[in-house]
Amino acid sequence: MSERCKVVVVGGGFAGLEVARGLSRENADVVLIDRTNHHLFQPLLYQVATAGLAPSDIAAPIRSVLRRVDNVTVRLAEVTNLDLESREVAIETPEGQTEQVPYDRLVLAAGASHSYFGHDEWAEHAPGLKTLTDALEIRQRVLAAFEKAEWESDPAVQEALLTFVVVGGGPTGVELAGAISEIACQTLRKDYRAINTADATILLLEGADAVLGTYPESLRKSALRQLESLGVQVRLGSRVTKVTEDGVYLGEEFIPSKTILWAAGVQASPLAKALGVELDRAGRVKVENDLSVPGHPEVFVTGDLATFIDPKTNQPVPGVAQGAIQMGQHAAKNIRADLAGKPRTGFRYVDKGNMATIGRSRAVADVMGIRISGFLAWLLWVFVHVWFLVTYRNRLVVMVKWAWAWFTHDRATRLVWPLRAEKKPDPGRVVPWPDAESKSA
């Protein structure tokens, strides 16, 4: 191409950033569109949800990250439609205006959200964890549950407030359950007078016969043991059939709980439907060997929005950070090939391993065929996650906060904003004055 190629990238996650960086020295003008102004390091999102880190510790402004990439323009907007025939992306600006952004090459890296398997009404009572808004909502619910329990005089209601149910035994569910157990048993145990936070029940529900189902069997068993050592009650083969504001149903069995967290499934961005091509059950695009859309070689789909069957394993590339990074790098490589008039190459996923943290000094890791668990796996998890944070500031701040938490068991971001009253208070209600007998053991 003699003229400068117009490349539109939708999504500022791992894949989107890699595409923008990969085209920094090319004869191309890149427009990166995202509905937020920040890149989010999702693997540590649960740390924000459990008061270990602040939102700014795991996020960085996209404009700041790409400030030295002169041929990239960042647009804060919502993509509302795709016109593959005219090669235009319809966006809605923060002011509500609609614009059309033309492209020669389009890269979709819009990610995924949580799936409730056809029961979207459950979202009101069981928030998932995909965005900073989700994380702050979960943090509010978890910490507020202890505050409400401190005031509650009805033992049954208090027990429901101190019962935390995590649905889904994948990495996110395991990490959430372990962190909430540490909050209850270590961080908060000396902060309350009327309740003993260590009496809280943390229940992890998994529909399959093991947690961390994609991990080797030895690590699945190790993860289960480590969860149980933290006091987490793991129930395998348990499928949720209904979620209400008062608890969850497992068939006919009802578990009272005021805090239910959803980590059971993902669903691709609805933007994939606008392509008019075949999607998998989770709404992801079945891409070609070069990550392009069938019938539209000028459109690439990457990250959690794409389904790519790895020819080596005959399994889909997992929806993890390393997969998104590699897809973004490869999409940029093929665009560079187009610009140079060279043939494209097929994508090959390099599995660098998987790891999940379960709590303080507890983790499992499968790296290059080496399987470890416990403290060594936790140290490896810490090193890898700090290393892959986008900015040096984030790396330094996270390391300092984790070091502080290690020595003090403290979680510095335990902030709760004013609780919204569900009903007007009874003016005749008498609140008992706390005395020594009401203090927890």
What is the percentage of the chain residues whose pLDDT exceeds 90?
A: 79
Question: How far is CA 33 from its chain centroid?
Answer: 20
Phi-psi region of 295 (alpha: psi -120 to 50; beta: other; left: phi over 0): left
Give the model's pLDDT for residue 113.
Answer: 87
Give the model's pLDDT for residue 440.
Answer: 43
The CA-based dihedral angle spanning residues 119, 124, 127, 133, taken in that order and rounded to the nearest 10 degrees: 130
In the chain the first and final C-alpha atoms are separated, in Å, by 74
Split at pLDDT 50, 70, 90, the class of 432 is low
Residue 433 has, within 13 A of its CA and on its CB side, a CA count of: 1
* Residue matched to tokens 């007998």: 437
Q: In what order do the strands lie in the sheet with 105-108?
A: 72-76, 28-34, 5-10, 105-108, 296-301, 292-293
Give the model's pLDDT for residue 441.
Answer: 41
Backbone φ and ψ of 173, nearest 5°? -65, -40
- Is residue 210 within 8 Å of 86, Cβ to Cβ? no
* Residue matched to tokens 């029961």: 119
Give yes or no for residue 356 having a pLDDT over 80: yes
Average predicted confidence (pLDDT) for the chain: 92
Mean predicted confidence (pLDDT) in 303-314? 89
Give yes or no for residue 323 having a pLDDT over 90: yes
Give yes or no for residue 241 having a pLDDT over 60: yes
The string of pLDDT tens digits covering residues 288-298 is 999 999 999 99
Give yes or no for residue 17 having a pLDDT over 90: yes
List of E strands, 216-353: 233-236, 242-244, 247-250, 253-256, 259-262, 266-268, 285-286, 292-293, 296-301, 306-307, 309-310, 315-316
Split at pLDDT 50, 70, 90, the class of 262 is very high
What is the percentage of the chain residues whose pLDDT exceeds 70?
A: 94
For the question of whether the overall pTM of this predicted structure is more than 0.75, the answer is yes
Within 10 angstroms of residue 241's Cβ, the number of other Cβ atoms is 12
3-state SS of 157-201 is: HHHHHCEEEEECCCHHHHHHHHHHHHHHHHHCCCCCCCCCHHHCE
Give yes or no for residue 380 having a pLDDT over 80: yes
Mean predicted confidence (pLDDT) in 97-113? 95
Closest CA to 204 of 248, 146, 241: 248
The string of pLDDT tens digits covering residues 194-239 is 999 999 999 999 999 999 998 999 999 999 999 999 999 999 999 9
Give the model's pLDDT for residue 76.
Answer: 96
Give yes or no for residue 439 having a pLDDT over 60: no
C-alpha–C-alpha distance, residues 435 and 299, integer Å: 67
Within 10 angstroms of residue 124's Cβ, the number of other Cβ atoms is 10
Go through 176-209 and write b for each residue having 16 or more CB atoms within 10 A of its CB, e for each that does not.
bbbbbbbbbbbbbbeeeeebbbeebbbbbbbbee
C-alpha–C-alpha distance, residues 183 and 49, integer Å: 11
Give the model's pLDDT for residue 434.
Answer: 60
Within 10 angstroms of residue 307's Cβ, the number of other Cβ atoms is 21
Give the model's pLDDT for residue 414.
Answer: 85
Give the model's pLDDT for residue 311.
Answer: 84
Give the model's pLDDT for residue 424.
Answer: 52
Which residues are identified as catalytic? Answer: 175
C-alpha–C-alpha distance, residues 441 and 433, integer Å: 18
Give yes or no for residue 268 having a pLDDT over 70: yes
Give yes or no for residue 438 having a pLDDT over 50: no
Mean predicted confidence (pLDDT) in 86-103? 95
Residue 361 has, within 13 A of its CA and on its CB side, a CA count of: 6
